[in-house]
Amino acid sequence: MKVVSDFAQRFNVQVRFDKRLLVTRENRFFLVNQDVKRFLPVDFYYAGTYLGKVKGNRFFPSFELLALLAKQGAYSVTVNCKAAWLFICGRDVFESGILSTRGKPSRSGYVLVLNEYGECLGFGRFSRSANGVVVKNISDVGDFLRRER
């Protein structure tokens, strides 16, 4: 599951999952607990905690994985209520909406976007421009609604 740990490293997080509890279904990755593992049939659709999927050469993290990274101190920005709303609508985050930054994300590096309650709304690419800091939206929880269309 190198693809998951490589992704986590981009947020300066070392993830350590018990390899026996990581399962793959086609191009999708799951983390299960001992109970789920014990009953897991060969042919399943979804199990335990969904971590993400690989499509082409790209890894698409789940929001569960992003939330796990947030708990482990990943690079992140905390944004105000208005910026949070705009972010989940697919918009970028501008400096005026950022309340604080955790860690030192590199230029063009990944950062999580958290709301005032520390809940993870998604992630984006951190950049600095003449107009200040911007987080370019890559993925946000509004995707749950877009998927249903």
Partner 1 sequence: MSGREFFGARYRQLGWELRSVKPRTAIRVNTHNIDAEALIKRLHAQGVELVKVPWLDAGYWVTRTRVSVGATVEYLLGLYSVQEAAAQLPASLFTSLNRKLVLDACAAPGGKTVQLANLMKNTGVIFALDVATRRLAALANHLERCHVRNVIACLLDATRASTLGLKFDRILLDLPCSGNFAGDSGWFKRRRLSDVKRNAAVQRAILAEAVRCLNDNGEIVYSTCSLEPEEDELNVDWAVKNLPLEVAEVNCYGGEGLTQVFGVELDNSVKLCRRIWPGETQGFFICKFRRVHHR
Residues forming contacts to partner 1 in the complex (CB under 8 A) are 33, 35-36, 38-41, 43-50, 62-64, 67, 84-85, 88, 115, 119, 121, 141-142, 144-145, 147-148
Rounded to a whole number of angstroms, the minimum distance from the CB of residue 146 to partner 1 is: 11
Rounded to a whole number of angstroms, the minimum distance from the CB of residue 76 to partner 1 is: 15
Both tokens of 142, joined, read 């509004």
User: What is the full DSSP assignment across 76-116?
Assistant: EEEE-HHHHHHHHTTPPEEGGGEEEEES-PPTT-EEEEE-T
Q: Which is nearer to partner 1, 12 or 120 (CB)?
A: 120
How far out from the chain centre does Cα 93 lie? 16
Q: Which is nearer to partner 1, 74 or 141 (CB)?
A: 141
Rounded to a whole number of angstroms, the minimum distance from the CB of residue 131 to partner 1 is: 25
> Phi, psi (5° rounding) for residue 34?
-60, -40
How far out from the chain centre does Cα 46 lie? 19
Contact yes or no for 75/46 (Cβ under 8 A): no
Rounded to a whole number of angstroms, the minimum distance from the CB of residue 31 to partner 1 is: 8
